[in-house]
Structure 1
Amino acid sequence: MGEFWPVPDVLAYLGGTWRAERVVRDLASGDDGRFTGVVVFEPLQDGEGDGLLQRESGDFTWRGVTRPAERTLRFLAGPDGTADVRFADGRFFHDLDLRSGRHIADHPCSADLYRGEFTVRDADHWRTVWRVRGPAKDLELVTDYARGLNAD
């Protein structure tokens, strides 16, 4: 086994509950923040297609102020164990192919470019690193996921 842990079926791998710890860095200002929470991947309801609904909820601290934070994404089954990731309103976000244990995805948003790197360490740990660059943004978001609420 190499540096990354191959995942033959991304939906089967992600299903369940994960603890998430995210560090957000504004590389232009030097500010940083933290998100700590829970991410649940559950099957989509009947009629919504084959896939998972991702519900993320927790607390985000930015510039000393902590607020509740949440987001919802849809992971639709793609060919050969891959997924098509969409925002809650159905707009395309990015593709996801973890068969090698690593994937790079780009998402253009207005004048900004979001580039995500997804890496799988083992059956219970994975990471995303999003780099956001544009005229008004210079951010890095690093999220570590551990399976279960009490995972190490």
Structure 2
Amino acid sequence: MHLVPDVAAYLAGRWHIERAVHDLRSGRTGSFRGTADFRPDGPDGALRHAEEGELTWDGAVHLATRTLRLRPRPDGTAAVTFADGRPFHDLDLRTGHWTAHHPCAADRYEGTFTAVAADRWHLEWRVTGPAKDQLLRSEYRRTG
């Protein structure tokens, strides 16, 4: 595990993403390949986290994007929000590992973040509830 004293400084820049997507109810699987950019976004020191790439699902390829904001705190942690400002989860990688929770309607998202090295981190989201039963495993590698 890689200790991260400042999560915003660690994530700043461009990352390549490889993601496996598993629908545990149906047994179907898919994948996502793309990039994540963490770039300055406004005078408050926030970073805009923009992902884009291709989602392969049921033999079809779809363009997929998402945008989040990372709002750093003085202690090296951050608050992650959706693009519209709604809260998503906290992020603290000072020990190299963090588990985040987010309720979404009746479903529950549990994310496990692991800083593996200065240029690599993993994220696993387990989604459970009446609408979803999914496992998403992502690896992020710094591109430069």
The bucket for the TM-score relative to the shorter chain is over 0.9
Q: Tell me the CA shift for residue 69 of structure 1.
A: 0.6
1-side partners of 2:68 and 2:98: how far apart?
A: 18
Give aligned-pair identity as a percent.
Answer: 52
SS in 1 for 2:88: strand
SS in 1 for 2:131: coil
1-side partners of 2:61 and 2:128: how far apart?
A: 25
Q: How does 1:46-85 map to 2 (within 5 A)?
A: 46=43, 49-85=44-80
Q: How does 1:96-115 map to 2 (within 5 A)?
A: 96-115=91-110
Q: Tell me the CA shift for residue 20 of structure 1.
A: 0.4
Residue equivalent to 1:38? 35
SS in 1 for 2:75: helix
1-side partners of 2:131 and 2:52: how far apart?
A: 26
Please, what TM-score do these two structures have when normalized by structure 2?
0.97
Aligned mate of 2:26, from 26, 29, 38 = 29
2:43 is the counterpart of 1:16: no
SS in 1 for 2:10: helix
2:92 is the counterpart of 1:119: no
Q: Tell me the CA shift for residue 35 of structure 1.
A: 0.5
The one-letter code matched in structure 2 to 1:41 is F
Residue equivalent to 1:148? 143
Query: Deviations along 1:7-62, whole A, 9 cap, x unmatched?
Result: 0000000000000011110011100110000111000133xx22200110100011
The one-letter code matched in structure 2 to 1:118 is F
SS in 2 for 1:30: coil
Gaps of 5+ in 1: none
Residue equivalent to 1:130? 125
2-side partners of 1:27 and 1:79: how far apart?
A: 39
Structure 1 vs Structure 2 CA RMSD: 0.9
